[in-house]
């Protein structure tokens, strides 16, 4: 199912690339955009995890650097029958975490310094188990591809919009450029990309919470962690987080920005906590 989602994601992103290419350069622009889309799909498959980790200046750590954090990842990965992922730390006061990588053999778990300050051991293990579930379910390929391609579509759409506004469009068809159509596409393409993320991401978070509760054996600790993380991100949103990669985090890093709530890739934390409470009480 995730493989099918990946194909759909790549196809829709390619269509958006081609539409923007047509906006900038007509038929020749479409061909250039088509080739660019193929290159981006290939690059995002192989390198998007490295791009996302570099985006947040994540540093790989070993056991000697942070033994408690590293040992927790190692133990929980073993419990989940997963290869040991690479372990990363992000120097950021906003508490959050994500997993990335194209498959379990090439995966990574990253947490911020902020999360290590506010969570106790059980809560941290619940968060790590949640991220390992994303790896186990192979969700992270979809997430990392989306993080790379959505950001690129947004950038190209903005370039197209500026070109249209300043008369830089070079369509080669006879009808010429339509400034209104160009402006609409500039706005719609990034929104469409974000909506794709939303459709994919919300169901994955529920499944990752369920798997995280199972792997860690601590559903109430994970529920407590989600409450703490959400409340703190409301007050201290992650300053360098972009909408293209927000869906990868365990809680929305942009939740403190009111406009972003309209496009949240995460389900309501109240519903997530309620489901974890049901798991703890044996009702799910």
Give the pair of three-digit tokens for residue 9: 């994601």
Q: Are 169 and 23 in contact (CB under 8 A)?
A: yes
Q: Are 161 and 183 in contact (CB under 8 A)?
A: yes
- Torsion sign, CA atoms 49, 52, 57, 61: negative
Determine the angle formed by the axes of helices 219-235 and 121-136, rounding to 10 degrees. 100
Give the pair of three-digit tokens for residue 129: 């188990």
Q: Which of 91, 131, 205, 271 is catalytic?
A: 131
Strands of 59-60's sheet, edge to edge?
A: 59-60, 86-90, 106-112, 97-103
- Annotation marks residue 131 as catalytic: yes
Q: Which letter does DSSP use for residue 109 in this model?
A: E
How far is the CA of 219 from the CAs of 64, 129, 154, 163, in angstroms? Answer: 29, 10, 37, 51
- Kindly list the catalytic residues: 131
């Amino acid at each position: 199912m995730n493989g099918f989602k990946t194909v759909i994601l790549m196809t829709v992103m390619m269509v958006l690339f081609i539409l923007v290419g047509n906006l900038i350069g007509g038929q020749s622009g479409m061909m250039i955009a088509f080739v660019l889309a193929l290159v981006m799909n290939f690059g995002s498959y192989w390198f998007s995890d490295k791009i996302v980790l570099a985006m947040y200046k994540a540093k790989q750590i070993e056991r000697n650097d942070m033994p408690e954090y590293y040992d927790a990842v190692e133990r929980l990965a073993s419990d989940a029958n997963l290869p040991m992922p690479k372990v990363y730390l992000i120097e950021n006061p906003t508490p959050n975490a994500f997993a990335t990588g194209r498959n379990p053999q090439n995966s990574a778990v990253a947490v911020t310094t902020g999360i290590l300050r506010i969570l106790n051991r059980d809560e941290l293990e619940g968060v790590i188990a949640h991220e390992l579930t994303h790896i186990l379910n192979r969700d992270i390929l979809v997430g990392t591809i989306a993080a790379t391609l959505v950001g690129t579509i947004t950038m190209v759409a903005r370039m197209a919009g500026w070109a249209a506004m300043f008369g830089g469009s070079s369509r080669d068809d006879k009808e010429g450029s339509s400034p209104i159509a160009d402006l609409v596409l500039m706005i719609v393409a990034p929104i469409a990309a974000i909506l794709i993320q939303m459709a994919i991401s919300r169901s994955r978070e529920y499944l990752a919470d369920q798997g995280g509760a199972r792997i860690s054996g601590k559903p109430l600790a994970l529920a407590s962690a989600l409450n703490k993380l959400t409340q703190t991100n409301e007050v201290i949103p992650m300053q360098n987080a972009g909408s293209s990669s927000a869906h990868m985090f365990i809680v929305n890093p942009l939740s403190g920005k009111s406009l972003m709530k309209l496009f949240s890739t995460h389900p309501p934390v109240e519903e997530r906590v309620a489901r974890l409470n049901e798991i703890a009480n044996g009702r799910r």
